[in-house]
Homo-oligomer: A and B are copies of this chain.
């Protein structure tokens, strides 16, 4: 190495993400230290249970960090890289070339949440001491590849190393949950891996697979597909099956949190037309809104926590979707309304005993205007963690600032990573703990919390709060 081309050294500053002001930083550091090593509770996310069941070594750095992470591929796409060259959509790719494409554009990730997590993973997990770069791409690729062959880099070893106490996956209602059964029966796995009931495609007639899914559900339950009551019973039975396999929540990724209560016969009529693919778009919206409300009724009865993740227009670029499928980086948020849309549901179940409804958003304007006021009254409503584009350090500060003064800390769900990037889980939770420590420290410094209150809240945010919200 010549003096004229020094390699940028990566250092993880021990005080990263903590507030700039020294006095506040000192408080934040103590708060962070008290929770830095607490076990991880991850009650919602998209890691596959097969990853842990099969426990196969990760193939290579491209597969591990890039190909399956649409946060990463979208940034490269925005700079003109072709998704095909990144292995999108399951096509063939050259891992080393993918890694080079990424490493040579590392500056694109500066300041992003993904860049932060990746650097954390490179340093903490693989001991990389240099920033990714074109010059060093091959060396880094080889170094990481070498480590991936070691036993301690296999998924289950990492699961232990990460100190994951609870990891929830996201599963199709008709999934037989055999992976979960195996994992639950395996005494060598210390943490719990729980399924989550995700019925969107069974509830929304506009989902492309609605007809085939409802047919499959009817086939499973041995009833005619057009029988609305059997359909409801089938859903209830599958929820019970999930509960029997450890599920604690049902997740709803609706377009909008629209709810409406239909008379039984009207709902049955719409359902019959839906399964034959004859609903208009407006009717489909109404039926989906009715089924969101019916899902709440099921939650009231069977106790599954209801999480709602609305407000994303999926697959914005039809051309990209056609070529590479979903989850390829062009799901784009839209404005979302909760106060009026959820009113029919909350009129019915908002004060129901033991009902938990966790509201997420990618539209941060609703934090102070709608979600915190709703959570600050209804015993059922919890404020979901900063989600998707909002799960980054600055966004977390905005989230806390917008919700805490109205609803406090105890009407929230605790941090949710919601990730399919297994290796990023510790980095994400660590970032959230640092961010929350910084927020609490500011309130202490501003005389709004005593240090004792802040210490208690910091602990509760990583333990009691998510355990209560998700009934763990």
Q: Which residues of B contact A317 (CB under 8 A)?
A: 346-347, 350-351, 377-378
| Contact across chains for A313 and B332 when beta carbons are under 8 A apart | no
Stretch of A44-52, A107-115, A161-169, A418-426 lying at the B interface: A107-115
The 8 A CB mask of A385-410 against B (1 = contact, 0 = none) is 00001101111001001101111111
Q: How far is the CB of A461 from chain B (nearest CB, A)?
A: 11
* Beta-carbon contact of B450 and A320 below 8 Å: no
A329 at the interface (CB under 8 A from B): yes
A467 within 8 A of B: no
Contacting residue for A75 out of B335, B376, B392, B453, CB 8 A: B376
A77 to B381, CA, bound (A): 11
**Least Cβ distance of A105 to chain B in Å?**
9
| B330 engages A447 (CB within 8 Å) | no
State whether B329 touches A333 (Cβ < 8 A): no
Say yes or no: B332 contacts A373, CB within 8 Å. yes
Question: Shortest Cβ distance from A80 into chain B, in angstroms?
Answer: 5
A333 is contacted by which of B339, B351, B389 (Cβ under 8 Å)? B339
* Interface residues on chain A, number (Cβ under 8 Å): 98
The one of B113, B339, B448 in contact with A405, judged by C-beta atoms closer than 8 angstroms, is B113
Of chain B, the residue at the smallest CB distance from A107 is B410
- The residue of chain B having its C-beta at the shortest distance from the C-beta of A375 within the complex is B78
Q: How far is the CA of A18 from the CA of B445 in the complex (A)?
A: 9
Which of A8-16, A134-142, A143-151 is found at the contact surface with chain B?
A8-16
Cβ–Cβ < 8 Å partners of A206 in chain B = none
Q: Is the CB of B405 within 8 A of A392?
A: yes
Interface centre among A18, A110, A381, A409 (most CB of B within 10 A): A110
Asked if A157 lies at the interface with its beta carbon under 8 angstroms from chain B, I say: no
Assembled-state Cα–Cα distance A393/B78 (Å): 28
Q: Which of B20, B364, B443 contacts A24 (CB 8 A)?
A: B20
* C-alpha spacing A157/B114, complex, angstroms: 47
Task: Let me know if A97 is at the binding interface, CB within 8 A.
Answer: no
Q: In the complex the two chains form, what is the Cα distance from A409 to B111 in whole Å?
A: 7
Give a binary string over A82-117; 1 marks a CB under 8 Å from any B CB, 0 the rest. 000000000000000000000000011111110110
CB distance from A377 to the nearest CB of B (A): 5
Determine the distance from Cα of A131 to Cα of B449 in the docked complex, in whole angstroms.
11
With known contacts A20-B23, A368-B390, A78–B376 Cβ distance under 8 A: yes
Complex: how many Å from CA A12 to CA B450?
10
Q: B22 touching A379 by the CB < 8 A rule?
A: no
A374 in complex: contacting residue of B332, B398, B450, CB < 8 Å: B332
Closest chain B CB from A141 CB (angstroms): 21
Contact assessment for B408 and A446 in the assembled complex, using a CB-CB cutoff below 8 Å:
no
| A276 at the binding interface (Cβ < 8 Å) | no
A105 nearest in chain B by CB position: B410
Does A209 sit at the interface, judged by CB under 8 A?
A: no
Chain B contacts for A108, CB-based, 8 A: 408, 410-411
Taking a contact as CB atoms closer than 8 A, the residue among B19, B335, B447 that contacts A16 in the complex is B447
The reply to whether A405 and B395 form a contact with Cβ atoms under 8 Å apart is yes
Q: Is A448 touching B111 in the complex (CB atoms < 8 A)? A: yes
**Chain B residues with Cβ under 8 A from A346's Cβ?**
316-317
A454, closest chain B residue (CB): B110
For A1, what are the chain B residues with a Cβ–Cβ distance below 8 Å? Answer: none
Do B80 and A404 touch (CB < 8 A)?
no
Closest Cβ of chain B to A109, distance in Å, is 6
> Do B372 and A368 touch (CB < 8 A)?
no
- What are some 22 contacts across the A-B interface (CB < 8 A)? A8-B452, A16-B446, A19-B20, A75-B376, A108-B411, A110-B409, A110-B410, A115-B408, A313-B339, A318-B347, A330-B377, A333-B369, A334-B337, A334-B369, A362-B369, A364-B365, A364-B369, A365-B369, A372-B389, A389-B406, A393-B448, A394-B402
